[in-house]
């Protein structure tokens, strides 16, 4: 099923070394770019379009074979999407986005050739070393903000930003990879122009990504949430609580020893309501704050970043600065019309006046009449006003 070692692609320009991994839609290989003389020039990564449930290849062959005609039509659609993904990445010229060198079709399938990033991912780094020093995490975060800003300028959402999709070059620079779930959007209308299936990465995807049609329009805020969750992971070593569970489960807050601007960046990026999230530009401003200016910023009386509010029915769920063990719920004072209260007050005044009048008549008319009147009054049903 895999291409064999030493297989040549694109008229001998690339030579397969070994397989690096396989997913549902493709196989990634380590390869070498070859000079015309046959001398290796550099290592590269080659991604081959190969839907493992619908594609096949005989041993020691390079041609990909397909099943029924119905499968062929579907596979062809996804192959075109694969090529579109490659050409999307190819047009990004940013030091912190993976570089694509070649895109081509061969062996009844498609390929694209990327720079080979032999380092580890941010997930690997945190698992090996534990939470990163705050300054190092901020540096990575700031570079990723610039990379994602470049992506958004082309009306593209990445939609799968997470630490495992950020690789480190040999010089330590973070590089955003894996645009397999990325969506292209119309420059004018903002509507989607691709039919990429929606995927979810638990802890890093915001609520709208769980909903059908949640990212049918260009949504920079969706990637902003994932960026904030990535920073949270780098600082704590913990995957954030899945966004759809945060109102019921809460989420551990960042310790108060982190800078105000760091805590505020995470809080502002990870707000559950899309319209409440920060812009990338504001997050970059937080990263420009130095330690001295952070000390002078306003916090609450406990030194905690102001909480984030989410409206749920008739209450406001207070999303603490990244939550407490349990979410706090605070009743929201809503501005209601005062007319019902005025009517109730007027009725009470009238009732008291009538009662005083009846008591006066009873006193004048004798004890028996008074008893009859009060008996009638005491059996009257009193309807208490609601609320």
Residues with a catalytic annotation lie at: 160
The dihedral region occupied by 296, where left means phi > 0, alpha psi between -120 and 50, and beta the remainder, is alpha
From the CB of residue 377, how many other CB atoms can be counted at a distance below 10 Å?
Answer: 13
Contact 194, 183 (CB under 8 A): yes
CA 53 → CA 1, 86, 196, distances in Å? 12, 22, 18
Cα distance between residue 316 and residue 287, in whole Å = 30
Exposed/middle/buried for residue 299 (C-beta within 10 Å: 0-12, 13-18, 19+)? middle
Handedness of CA 295, 299, 304, 308 (dihedral sign): negative
Nearest to 219 by CA among 146, 140, 296, 280: 280
Angle value at C-alpha 264, between 98 and 284, nearest 5 degrees: 40
Tokens representing 306 are: 């102001």
Tokens representing 22 are: 């396989």
Cα distance between residue 111 and residue 251, in whole Å = 41
Angle value at C-alpha 202, between 130 and 257, nearest 5 degrees: 40
Cα distance between residue 288 and residue 5, in whole Å = 48
Nearest to 262 by CA among 237, 291, 224, 298: 291
Contact 215, 223 (CB under 8 A): no
CA 349 → CA 53, 346, 353, 374, distances in Å? 79, 5, 6, 19
């Amino acid at each position: 099923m895999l291409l064999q070692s030493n297989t040549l692609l694109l008229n001998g320009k690339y030579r397969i070394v070994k397989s690096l991994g396989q997913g549902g839609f493709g196989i990634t290989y380590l390869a070498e770019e070859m000079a015309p003389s046959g001398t290796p020039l550099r290592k590269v990564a080659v991604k081959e379009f190969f839907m493992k449930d619908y594609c096949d290849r005989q041993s020691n062959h390079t041609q990909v074979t397909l099943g029924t005609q119905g499968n062929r039509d579907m596979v062809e659609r996804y192959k075109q999407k694969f090529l579109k993904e490659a050409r999307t990445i190819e047009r990004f010229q940013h030091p912190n986005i993976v570089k694509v060198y070649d895109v081509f079709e061969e062996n009844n399938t498609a390929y694209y050739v990327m720079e080979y990033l032999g380092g580890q991912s941010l997930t690997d780094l945190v698992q090996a070393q534990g939470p990163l020093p705050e300054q190092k995490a901020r540096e990575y975060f700031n570079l990723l903000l610039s990379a994602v800003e470049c992506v958004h300028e082309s009306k593209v959402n990445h939609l799968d930003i997470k630490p495992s999709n950020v690789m480190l070059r040999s010089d330590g620079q973070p590089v955003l990879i894996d645009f397999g779930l990325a969506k292209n959007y119309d420059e004018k209308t903002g509507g989607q122009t691709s039919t990429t299936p929606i995927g979810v990465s638990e802890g890093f995807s915001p609520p709208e990504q769980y909903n059908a049609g949640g990212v049918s329009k260009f949504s920079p805020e969706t990637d902003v949430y994932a960026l904030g969750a990535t920073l949270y992971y780098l600082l704590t070593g913990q995957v954030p609580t899945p966004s759809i569970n945060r109102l019921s489960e809460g989420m551990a807050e960042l310790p108060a020893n982190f800078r105000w601007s760091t805590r505020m960046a995470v809080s502002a990026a990870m707000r559950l309501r899309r319209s409440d999230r920060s812009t990338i530009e504001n997050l970059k401003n937080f990263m420009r704050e130095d330690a001295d200016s952070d000390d002078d910023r306003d916090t609450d009386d406990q030194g905690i970043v102001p909480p984030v509010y989410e409206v749920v029915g008739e209450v406001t769920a207070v999303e603490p600065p990244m939550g407490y063990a349990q979410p706090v719920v605070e009743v929201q004072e809503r501005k209601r019309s005062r007319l019902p209260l005025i009517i109730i007050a007027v009725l009470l005044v009238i009732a008291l006046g009538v009662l005083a009048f009846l008591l006066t008549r009873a006193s004048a008319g004798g004890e028996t009449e008074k008893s009859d009147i009060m008996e009638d009054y005491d059996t009257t049903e009193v309807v208490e006003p609601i609320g």
